[in-house]
């Protein structure tokens, strides 16, 4: 029986729907640096880490979604060090009565990239680069000339689209903007006949919100950031 597309989402995205954003070596793939540091391989073998090492310059990092904790010997043999490890919950959308959308959203374009990057850098919803917005639809809420909230699509695998970069500027929090943007994206994704999913750190209090608007827990990954050390 084959794996579910969401069992290894980074690898699946970079070998299917988003292969045009991939840097490729024999056993590994990663998003181009301008998109972000996420990378993957079919199996986390010593050979796969070595293959990934060809794609990550010294001083740079890669983010992995692993089923089990990384094998430190395999990581270090490939010239990496483990920089960060955390538990990452994958959630998938089920049918639910969605709340009404109130704020008007605006589509984000390449011209908005500096503002999107600044907000994502401030609020840290996950890796975000200068070209992350090219991965899918990104929408925002503007108030008084400022980007008040942001949400968009990141990974695309057959039949599924990930909602990501959900964040609100602190001066505009508590007004339901992030929820409204997520509802809009959920509806757009479902109209395409796809199922929304997302990833969130287990420590993030937003999990309760995601459950209320129809997401359910699917699995937990070991989110592991590895850095390429010098010789």
Establish if 42 belongs to a structural domain: yes
Residue 133 sits in a domain of what CATH number?
3.40.630.30
Domain count, the chain: 2
Name the pTM for this structure: 0.94
**Average pLDDT of span 106-125:** 96
| 171 Cβ contact list (under 8 Å, min separation 6) | 146, 148
**Average pLDDT of span 126-154:** 96
The per-residue pLDDT for 98 is: 73
Confidence of residue 185 (pLDDT cuts 50, 70, 90): very high
Establish if 176 belongs to a structural domain: yes
Enter the tokens of residue 38.
């996420």
80 and 179, same domain (yes or no): no
pLDDT in tens, 61-107: 999 999 999 999 999 999 999 999 999 999 999 877 776 666 689 99
Establish if 4 belongs to a structural domain: no
86 and 139, same domain (yes or no): no
70 and 135, same domain (yes or no): no
Q: CA quadruple 169, 128, 139, 94: dihedral positive or negative?
A: negative
Rounded to the nearest 10°, the torsion over CA 61, 64, 70, 74 is: -60
Establish if 112 belongs to a structural domain: yes
pLDDT in tens, 145-165: 899 999 999 999 999 999 999
pLDDT greater than 60 at residue 190: yes
Q: What is the DSSP-derived secondary structure letter of residue 192?
A: T
Task: For residue 165, give the H/E element and its range.
Answer: strand 160-168
**What is the residue range of 44's domain?**
9-91+221-228
Angle ∠(191,31,178) on CA atoms, nearest 5? 45
**Contact of 178 with 166, CB cutoff 8 Å:** yes
Angle ∠(14,18,23) on CA atoms, nearest 5? 50
Q: What is the DSSP-derived secondary structure letter of residue 38?
A: B
Strands of the sheet containing 22-24, edge to edge, are 22-24, 28-31, 39-41
77 and 113, same domain (yes or no): no
Confidence of residue 1 (pLDDT cuts 50, 70, 90): very low
| 70 Cβ contact list (under 8 Å, min separation 6) | 44, 64, 82, 85, 222, 224, 226
Confidence of residue 2 (pLDDT cuts 50, 70, 90): low
Q: How many CB atoms lie within 10 A of CB 172?
A: 18
Establish if 2 belongs to a structural domain: no
Confidence of residue 231 (pLDDT cuts 50, 70, 90): low
67 and 106, same domain (yes or no): no
51 and 118, same domain (yes or no): no
211 and 99, same domain (yes or no): yes
- The mean pLDDT of the chain is 94
Name the percent of the chain lying above pLDDT 70.
Answer: 96
Establish if 1 belongs to a structural domain: no
Confidence of residue 10 (pLDDT cuts 50, 70, 90): very high
173 and 205, same domain (yes or no): yes
Radius of gyration of the chain (CA): 18
**Average pLDDT of span 167-181:** 93
Establish if 3 belongs to a structural domain: no
84 and 137, same domain (yes or no): no
Cα–Cα distance for residue pair 153/145, rounded to 1 Å: 23
173 and 192, same domain (yes or no): yes
**Average pLDDT of span 48-69:** 97
Q: CA quadruple 66, 71, 75, 78: dihedral positive or negative?
A: negative
């Amino acid at each position: 029986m084959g794996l579910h597309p969401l069992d290894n989402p980074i690898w699946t995205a970079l070998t299917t729907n988003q292969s045009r954003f991939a840097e490729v070596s024999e056993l590994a793939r990663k998003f181009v640096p301008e998109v972000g540091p996420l990378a993957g391989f079919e199996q986390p073998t010593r050979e796969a880490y070595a293959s990934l090492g060809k794609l990550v310059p010294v001083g740079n990092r890669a983010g992995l979604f692993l089923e089990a904790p990384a094998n430190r010997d395999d990581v270090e043999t490939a010239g990496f060090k483990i920089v960060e490890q955390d538990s990452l919950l994958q959630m998938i959308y089920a049918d639910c009565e969605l709340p009404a959308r109130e704020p008007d959203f605006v589509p984000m374009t390449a011209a908005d990239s500096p503002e999107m990057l600044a907000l994502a850098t401030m609020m840290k919803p996950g890796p975000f680069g200068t070209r992350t917005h090219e991965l899918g639809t990104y929408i925002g809420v503007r108030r008084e000339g400022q980007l008040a909230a942001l949400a968009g699509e990141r990974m695309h695998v057959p039949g599924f689209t990930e909602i990501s970069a959900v964040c609100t500027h602190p001066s505009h929090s508590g007004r339901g903007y992030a929820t409204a943007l997520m509802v809009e994206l959920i509806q757009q994704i479902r109209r395409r006949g796809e199922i929304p999913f997302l990833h969130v750190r287990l420590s993030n209090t937003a999990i309760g919100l995601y459950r209320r608007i129809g997401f359910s827990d699917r699995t937990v990954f070991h989110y592991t950031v590895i850095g390429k050390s010098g010789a």
